[in-house]
Structure 1
Amino acid sequence: MLPVASSTESLRSHLPKKTFTNQTLFISDLHLSLEKPQITHRFLSFLKNRAVHAEALYILGDLFDTWVGDDNFMPPTHKIRKQLKHLTDSGVKVYLQQGNRDFLLGQRFCQQTGVILLDDHAVIDLYETPTLLMHGDLLCTDDLPYQAFRIKSHSTEWQHNVLSKPLVLRLLVARWYRLRSYFHKRGKSQDIMDVNPNTVIETLRSHNCLRLIHGHTHRPNVHSFEIGGQTAQRFVLSEWHNDKAEILCWTNNGYRTEVV
């Protein structure tokens, strides 16, 4: 594992410039919203000054705190769309998975930004190692009420019904859902909201992978375990905060965590 860089600038001063062309970045759980201007500013700066040096960027869900439809251009979505388009136009591949907060992100958003939408389970060849990418909510199978809501909210009928409502109404309902979700989480144990280890193993087996990268749980760590006598790893991405944001960077030499 390479050393952790304290900032993007310090990383640039210690590594050869050529290492910035062949690297893949992973982020998740930014929860961008009008109420979080510092995180939005940090993300826009990251796209302009750091991500532009990568080969690819993977955003593994909950880029936005809520998403009520691709027709929503309320701040700060316009600036974010614009900067993502600049990044993809520069040649950086940007991939996006829907999270539990922004699962209504659709093809219109992707067309406007050049971002490529991924399925809930996406297997990539990460420097010759098959790697499974997920947001992570599907791994929290002990949280039965959430899993039931997820099935309902991902149905075509439910989404069509929501998106057919006026934008103003959708924005109001989204605020109510966020408030309700906050109080529901306070009544749940942390273990219920974390991944189920058996689900993790079954999911990796079903996709023939020994490496998993995901977000959602806000418990950044690297977990090692065994599957059929082979070593497997689970990389949990960090939630972004006003004063700190972490990214996972992979190169041919391995991985490192950076603070941006």
Structure 2
Amino acid sequence: MATLFISDLHLDAARPEITALFARFLEGPARQADALYILGDLFEAWVGDDDPSDPGALVARHLRALTDAGVPVAFIRGNRDFLLGADYAARCGMTLLHDPTVVDLYGTPTLLLHGDLLCTADTAYQQFRAQTRDPRWQAQFLAQPLAARLAFAQQARAASQARHGELQAQGMAETIGDVTPATVQDWFKRFGVPRMIHGHTHRPAIHDEGNGRTRIVLGDWYTQGSLLSVSAQDVSLTTLDNC
């Protein structure tokens, strides 16, 4: 048995094949897991638990079936679905975790987080993140009509894509979009753990960070699935083309 980790699925009605792949994963390999952790950006955008999207409804059904089958599911919010709340989590049967959270994985203390907090070189994003995580900002946003919230999400996505294009043109996308090494070392020291698992950067790899520390980065699900399996004996980062 193993514990499974995924992130950055960015599920959206425009990419039904990836939503279908995720559903097959939940009906198949996930049923054999000790637990499933979703480390953020499950959805491309989430404007509140009253979101009526088809992917949201399908995911809730399949996650509920998985938890009803006895597999615990835990979720850390990402930068795209930071408004996912207790109501939707209850529909899915999953537990909401703080970002970051330390868990014990078969005797190894492990720091789990979405990963955007490690990208401290992107000061503009960190300022936006601080604003949108403010409970007062969130309450004001969620009080708006659904149509207004959906329009905001579309505008924010367009702005994000435009900024990424600007960074690419300046040759800074690789640096700004990745974690800051000094921040990674600071977090290892702060939490006193030998292992860290995160997503966000879409750069799947297992990094030796020195001093017996390992940082595992999950991949995205834009064209295929990315899956981390951790057991008492093994750590494996693989891809899923079909389930």
Q: TM-score range by the shorter chain?
A: over 0.9
Return the letter of the residue paired with 2:189: R
Tell me which residue corresponds to 2:35: 56
1:103 pairs, out of 62, 77, 82, with: 82
Matched, 1:198 2:182: yes
Alignment of 1:111-126 (within 5 A): 111-126=90-105
Matched, 1:81 2:60: yes
Matched, 1:207 2:191: yes
Tell me which residue corresponds to 1:234: 215
Matched, 1:245 2:225: yes
After TM superposition, the runs of 4+ consecutive aligned structure 1 residues lying more than 6 A away are none
Matched residue of 2:36: which SS? strand
Q: Distance in 2 between matches of 1:159 and 1:38?
A: 31
Matched residue of 1:29: which SS? coil
TM-score with structure 1 setting the length: 0.89
Q: What is the RMSD computed on CA atoms of the aligned residues?
A: 0.9
Alignment of 1:3-82 (within 5 A): 22-82=1-61
Give the length in aligned residue pairs: 235
More moved, 181-190 vs 138-147: 181-190
TM-score with structure 2 setting the length: 0.95
Q: Displacement of 1:225 after TM fit?
A: 2.0
Q: Distance in 2 between matches of 1:73 and 1:86?
A: 20
Q: Distance in 2 between matches of 1:116 and 1:169?
A: 29
Q: Displacement of 1:73 after TM fit?
A: 2.1
Q: Distance in 1 between matches of 2:195 and 2:55?
A: 34
Return the letter of the residue paired with 1:81: A
Q: Displacement of 1:75 after TM fit?
A: 1.3
Q: Distance in 1 between matches of 2:127 and 2:238?
A: 36
Q: Distance in 1 between matches of 2:138 and 2:226?
A: 32
Tell me which residue corresponds to 1:256: 236
Tell me which residue corresponds to 1:171: 150
* Cα offsets for 1:20-41 (capped at 9, x unmatched): xx21000000000111111101
Q: Displacement of 1:128 after TM fit?
A: 0.4
Q: Which runs of 5+ in 2 are unaligned?
A: none
Report sequence identity in percent: 44
Return the letter of the residue paired with 1:199: T
Q: Displacement of 1:78 after TM fit?
A: 0.8
Matched residue of 1:125: which SS? strand
Matched, 1:148 2:127: yes
Q: Distance in 2 between matches of 1:258 and 1:203?
A: 26
Return the letter of the residue paired with 1:196: T
Return the letter of the residue paired with 2:237: T
Q: Distance in 2 between matches of 1:36 and 1:166?
A: 26
Q: Displacement of 1:77 after TM fit?
A: 1.0
Q: Distance in 1 between matches of 2:235 and 2:181?
A: 23
* Cα offsets for 1:171-193 (capped at 9, x unmatched): 11111111111001111212011
Return the letter of the residue paired with 2:15: K
Q: Displacement of 1:205 after TM fit?
A: 1.1
Matched residue of 1:187: which SS? helix
Return the letter of the residue paired with 1:144: T
Q: Displacement of 1:159 after TM fit?
A: 0.3
Q: Distance in 2 between matches of 1:235 and 1:142?
A: 20
